């Protein structure tokens, strides 16, 4: 019997290896996949994508890494999920329109799921993901990786510790491009490619049909209502969860959304039932870099964004025990400072990851409610228990969108 089967000489035995597949792996997805394949107990075996160039590019990357030609390619997600009963977990890095449906279909087929963000297009989609994860007892992680990075974890822990006093305001970064209002027109029709090159019907998935245009497949879907979650969702899918974690309100959503008369939602104040405010912020008013967050209390503040060596604080002594705070967090929660490792650990242990389905749903509910506030151009009140807007039928209709058959829950 080969030593690798017994896990000798540093090898991971097959019984401990997580068999991984992928759906819609492009630029961002390739980065995450390389990260995942660096884990010794993970083996990537198959990719599904309606675009031939995308699936072949992933196959080449995977085969080169493993030194073989074993990676299988699929162009139909339904065939992929049904045929590959050997796959334990799936990385989904599609465009926004597919995230929730791919997650639901994958979990129904018995697979755990790591879904890139924004992980839902509507409140109803988030509800479907939560219901499916619970019904099928699947492990779900959304790709808000900063919840597993030391600088962000420290800022969150500092805010929760009381050393800033009772935090009364948190700031969440929204993307500095696009607007809250999105396009409802279609790009000009172009000749549709052969189905084996690009299955246009499947690429669209649950979205309303429109003629093919190659620009959509090259990222030009961003900024279109049917495909995107606006500048608020683009970064808010990360930063709302980060901000809500620091004020320990990841199990709810803001109850009041205050309309701001601008194009992007910059400065919108959202208020939780306990009075804590989460303010949407565009630009570098409170930090430098991308996906920033800040917590303000009566005894100080902390802010951080990508690219920091350490968070910024109102007084230097708040950073004195940075390493201890992070170590204590890891010991208490048994969470690693690696978002994908946390996911794979949970695939094995069956505990919930740090960014599980309800974390995704509550933070994305706030994203969707903020978008609806901007679209309707009026303040909104929201009941996070009933998950409905109070006294506003028009806003409640925007909690869901029609899904195009057969791409439905």
Quick one: 54 and 141 in the same domain? yes
The token pair that represents 88 in the structure block: 């334990």
List residues bridging with 159 in a β-sheet: none
Last residue of a domain, one of 121, 145, 169: 145
**In degrees rounded to 5, what are phi and psi of residue 155?**
-60, -40
Quick one: 140 and 160 in the same domain? no
Which residues have a Cβ under 8 Å from the Cβ of 330 and sit 6 or more positions away?
336, 337
Quick one: 336 and 374 in the same domain? yes
Domain membership flag for residue 93: yes
Quick one: 82 and 67 in the same domain? yes
Q: What SS3 class is residue 21?
A: strand
Last residue of a domain, one of 93, 121, 145: 145
- The residue with tokens 């509800």 is 127
Last residue of a domain, one of 145, 167, 192: 145
Structural domain for 42, as ranges: 3-145
Domain membership flag for residue 223: no
The total number of structural domains in the chain stands at 2
- pTM assigned to the model: 0.96
Quick one: 159 and 69 in the same domain? no
Domain membership flag for residue 408: no
Which string of DSSP letters, residue by residue, matches 99-140?
Answer: HHHHHHHHHHTT-EEEEPSS--SSHHHHHHHHHHHHHTT--E
Which residues have a Cβ under 8 Å from the Cβ of 210 and sit 6 or more positions away?
186, 187, 204, 226
List residues bridging with 220 in a β-sheet: none
Output the furthest CA–CA distance in the chain (Å, rounded): 70
Best CA proximity match to 14, nearest among 33, 40, 38, 34: 40
CATH code of the domain containing 106: 3.40.50.720
CATH code of the domain containing 344: 3.30.360.10
Q: Which helix or strand (DSSP H or E) is residue 312 part of?
A: strand 312-313
Quick one: 252 and 131 in the same domain? no
pLDDT tens, per residue, the chain with 409 residues? 555 555 555 578 888 999 999 999 999 999 999 999 999 999 999 999 999 999 999 999 999 999 999 999 999 999 999 999 999 999 999 999 999 999 999 999 999 999 999 999 999 999 999 999 999 999 999 999 999 999 999 999 999 999 999 999 999 999 999 999 999 999 999 999 999 999 999 999 999 999 999 999 999 999 999 999 999 999 999 999 999 999 999 999 999 999 999 999 999 999 999 999 999 999 999 999 999 999 999 999 999 999 999 999 999 999 999 999 999 999 999 999 999 999 999 999 999 999 999 999 999 999 999 999 999 999 999 999 999 999 999 999 999 999 999 999 9
Quick one: 114 and 162 in the same domain? no
Domain membership flag for residue 257: yes
């Amino acid at each position: 019997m080969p030593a690798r089967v017994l896990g000798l000489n540093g090898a991971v035995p097959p019984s401990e290896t997580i068999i991984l597949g992928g759906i819609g792996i492009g630029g961002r997805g390739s980065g995450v996949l390389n990260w995942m394949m660096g884990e010794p107990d993970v083996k990537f075996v198959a990719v599904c994508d309606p675009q031939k160039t995308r699936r072949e590019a992933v196959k080449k990357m995977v085969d080169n890494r493993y030194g073989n030609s074993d990676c299988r390619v699929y162009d139909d997600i339904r065939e992929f999920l049904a045929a590959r009963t050997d796959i334990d977990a799936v990385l989904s890095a599609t465009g926004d329109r597919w995230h929730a449906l791919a997650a639901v279909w994958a979990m129904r087929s018995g697979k755990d799921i790591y879904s890139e963000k924004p992980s839902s297009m509507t409140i109803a989609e988030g509800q479907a993901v939560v219901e499916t994860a619970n019904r099928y007892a699947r492990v779900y992680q959304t790709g808000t990786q900063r919840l597993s990075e030391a600088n962000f974890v420290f800022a969150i822990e500092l805010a929760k510790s009381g050393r800033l006093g009772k935090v009364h305001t948190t700031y969440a970064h929204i993307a500095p491009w696009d607007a809250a209002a999105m396009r409802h027109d279609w790009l000009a029709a172009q000749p549709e490619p052969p189905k084996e090159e690009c299955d246009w019907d499947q690429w669209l998935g649950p979205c309303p049909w429109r003629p093919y245009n190659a620009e959509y497949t090259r990222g030009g879907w961003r900024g279109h209502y049917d495909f995107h979650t606006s500048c608020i969702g683009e970064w808010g899918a990360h930063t709302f969860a980060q901000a809500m974690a620091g004020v320990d309100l990841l199990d709810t959503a803001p109850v009041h959304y205050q309309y701001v008369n601008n194009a992007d939602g910059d400065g919108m104040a959202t208020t939780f039932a306990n009075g804590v405010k989460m303010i949407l912020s565009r630009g570098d008013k409170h930090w430098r870099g991308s996906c920033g967050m800040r917590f303000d209390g009566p005894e100080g503040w902390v802010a951080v964004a990508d690219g920091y060596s350490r968070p910024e604080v109102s007084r230097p002594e708040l950073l004195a025990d940075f390493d201890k705070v992070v170590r204590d967090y890891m010991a208490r929660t048994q969470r690693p400072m690696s978002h994908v490792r946390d996911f794979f650990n949970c695939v094995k242990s069956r505990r919930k990851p740090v960014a599980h389905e309800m974390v995704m749903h509550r933070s994305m509910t706030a994203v969707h409610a903020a978008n609806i506030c901007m679209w309707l151009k009026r303040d909104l009140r929201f009941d996070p228990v009933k998950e409905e807007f109070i006294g506003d039928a028009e806003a409640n209709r925007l909690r869901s969108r029609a899904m195009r058959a057969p791409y439905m829950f």
